């Protein structure tokens, strides 16, 4: 598996955990996660200096990420740092501001213990207390 070193993420963006910068320790190449720039005025101004190839995009990085970008460029970052990773469902639900919708669209569902119990003639009931507690907490939080 390819190894990529996490350098850091935007210290001013807790909820979305973006933008971020990483570096390939073998090649020294940089990887940046950020907002895709679509502002026509910004793209026109950049076009005065560079031409974008069809497979290139302009990524916005806020000025407050200068430290992380400098660490990546100089190679002075702390090895082994870990980013936030993909938020869990509980984290996403906890950060809900207005509403939450649960939509399932899988091509295949693995059999669950409840389903197997139901097929065997049981009630099919499973312990949903953790799920109910997460939803109740989100509702009480204003979602």
pLDDT per residue as tens, the chain (143 positions) = 888 999 988 888 866 578 899 999 999 899 999 889 999 999 999 999 999 898 999 999 899 999 999 998 998 888 888 887 787 888 777 777 777 677 777 777 777 888 888 888 888 888 888 888 888 887 776 65
pLDDT of residue 142: 60
pLDDT of 15 reads 60
Do the Cβ atoms of 37 and 58 come closer than 8 Å? yes
The pLDDT, as a whole number, for residue 45 is: 94
Give the β-pairing of 5-9 and 20-23. antiparallel
Beta bridge partners of 6: 22
pLDDT of residue 129: 86
Q: How much is the pLDDT for 41?
A: 95
pLDDT digits (tens, 9 = 90+) for 11-45: 888 665 788 999 999 998 999 998 899 999 999 99
Q: What is the pLDDT of residue 110?
A: 76
Q: What angle do CA 136, 137, 141 make, to 5 degrees?
A: 115
**pTM of the entire structure?**
0.58
């Amino acid at each position: 598996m390819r190894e990529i070193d996490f350098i850091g993420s935007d210290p001013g963006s807790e909820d979305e955990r973006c933008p971020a910068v990483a570096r390939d320790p073998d090649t020294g190449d940089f990887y940046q996660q950020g907002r895709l720039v679509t502002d026509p005025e910004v793209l026109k101004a950049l076009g005065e200096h560079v031409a974008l190839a069809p497979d290139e995009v302009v990524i916005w990085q806020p000025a407050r990420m200068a430290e992380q970008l400098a660490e990546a460029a100089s190679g002075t970052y702390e090895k082994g740092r870990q980013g936030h990773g993909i938020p869990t469902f509980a984290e996403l639900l906890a950060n809900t501001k207005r509403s939450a919708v649960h939509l399932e669209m899988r091509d295949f569902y693995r059999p669950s213990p409840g389903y197997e119990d139901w097929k065997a003639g049981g009630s099919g009931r499973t312990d949903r207390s953790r799920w109910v507690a997460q939803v109740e907490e989100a509702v009480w939080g204003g979602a």
